[in-house]
Amino acid sequence: MESLEDGLEERRRYVRIRDALAQRIAGGEWRAHDKLPSVRQLAAQYEVNRLTAYKACRLLQTDGWIYAKEKSGYYVSGDEPAPESAAAPPDAPEGLRVSGRLRNEMFDIQGIPVAYQFSQALIDPNLLPNLYMSEYVKRVFDLYPKLIGTYATAQGDEELREALAGRMSADMRDDLRRDDLLITTGAQQAIDLISRTFLRSRDAILIERPTYSAAIAIFRHQGVRMLPVDIRPDGYDLAQVEALMRVHRPRLFYMNPTFHNPTGYTVPTAQRKRLVELAERYRCLLVEDDAFREMYFEEPPPPPLFAYDTEGWVVYLRSYSKYVAPGLRICAVAGHRTAIAPLVTAKSLADNGTPLVNQKIFLHYLLSERMRQHVEKLRTALQIRRDIMEEELCATGWQWTTPRGGLNLWLRTNEDLEVEALLRESLRQSLSFVPGAICDPFGGSASHIRLSYAFANESLVREGVRRLAAIARTI
């Protein structure tokens, strides 16, 4: 008899395939009344059984994307489905509707308490300056006694924006001013604000394959057409990027070019300059998510694309949540005033400003010598954990490219290993990781997994990887 856990896993699998097929239809791979591949062929493409592929097609049919012909197969509908198709939870009050696109599979996995936590790309709290930050909180309230009774402006604290503009100017360009910055409550909120500000349903966008899973969920909820750009150890295929820009005229390209999440790859300098040129030519906004810039192990990474932007076609997201103080949720969004002004309005409607207490605490830590020392020690600690994880993985036969920074390893497992079954058994044995399909906007990467070496301590990394390898041998 199928367990509840198995049933939920099966549902996630066929819903993911449904989403991938819908994106392929939206991207123009099949036109109205074209025949889809057979259920047998879809099962082979997505490495699932035929029943799972059939359930995915039935969901597509229910949503209006396709229709069935008896003894012939499935065909693309002539009319587009309603952009806000919705589904009611079984126990919802009558009349309550919830968006059918509202899902976050990463959140579901990370919410499961485990002993070996490899799914969260967060720093081990024991590596953070907790005592020092506690002392800073007291000092901040002495400096600003009325702090807790005051709102921040929607754009963000002026002092913090001034300090960040100075710091970022020294790193990449000297013309950055505080009015060019917006403070958001983490990078994920910034992505959401950008999506709601600059995109409409059915707009085309470029997105890396694989990429940050929360970004996929945000853009999918907006109802846009996601066009994949493969990212490799040496960056992008710029001929592919230009062809997509020329043919589809995408509104934006969401990218994570520095210690990429999940792969750890870094796009080289020459490609960064060329991407800015392409953005200007084809009027495509580049959204550069730069969460791991200071987490390098050898040489610092190349300057961000934003450093080469002179025409206002790059919006730059610099998050400090991951490695300074995750609980403060601070991200700086930099861009031309034509992009920042509407984002400030969107921010005012979302929450009217990131909490001022958080901003002031971060401001005084940002300006301290202690932060520089903390970042240097953190790089060493993370590199040691990465090395331990790679050492223990050598016996698996899996493949990966050693990242030169960031928090994750992107692994290609053996072809005969069913990653979903590996995840299911790993969770049962109190170990979590991210299956690659969650990071793929089209549901591919089925043989990949993402392991974060940042959250578990050194002994737990070693024990956990050994346990994962042992589980894999039984699947």
**One-letter amino acid for residue 271 of the chain:** Q
Other C-beta atoms closer than 10 Å to the C-beta of 134 total 9
Rounded to the nearest angstrom, the gap between the alpha carbon of residue 391 and the centroid of all alpha carbons in its chain is 27
The DSSP secondary structure of 201-260, one letter per residue, reads TT-EEEEEES--HHHHHHHHHHT-EEEEEEEETTEE-HHHHHHHHHHH--SEEEE--SS-
Enter the CATH code of domain 130-368. 3.40.640.10
Residue 91: the pLDDT is 58
Residue 212: the pLDDT is 96
Class of residue 465 by CB neighbours under 10 A (exposed 0-12, middle 13-18, buried 19+): buried
Enter the CATH code of domain 107-128+371-474. 3.90.1150.10
Fold of 4-95: Arc Repressor Mutant, subunit A (1.10.10)
- pTM score > 0.75 for this model? yes
3-state SS class at 285: strand
Q: Where are the domains of the chain?
A: 4-95, 107-128+371-474, 130-368
Asked if 107-128+371-474 and 130-368 have one fold, the answer is no
Residue 89: the pLDDT is 53
- Give me the average pLDDT of each 10-residue run along the chain (475 residues): 58 82 80 91 90 91 84 81 48 59 70 92 90 81 83 93 92 86 97 97 92 93 89 96 95 98 98 98 98 94 95 96 83 96 97 92 87 92 98 96 97 92 95 94 87 97 98 94
Residue 112: the pLDDT is 86
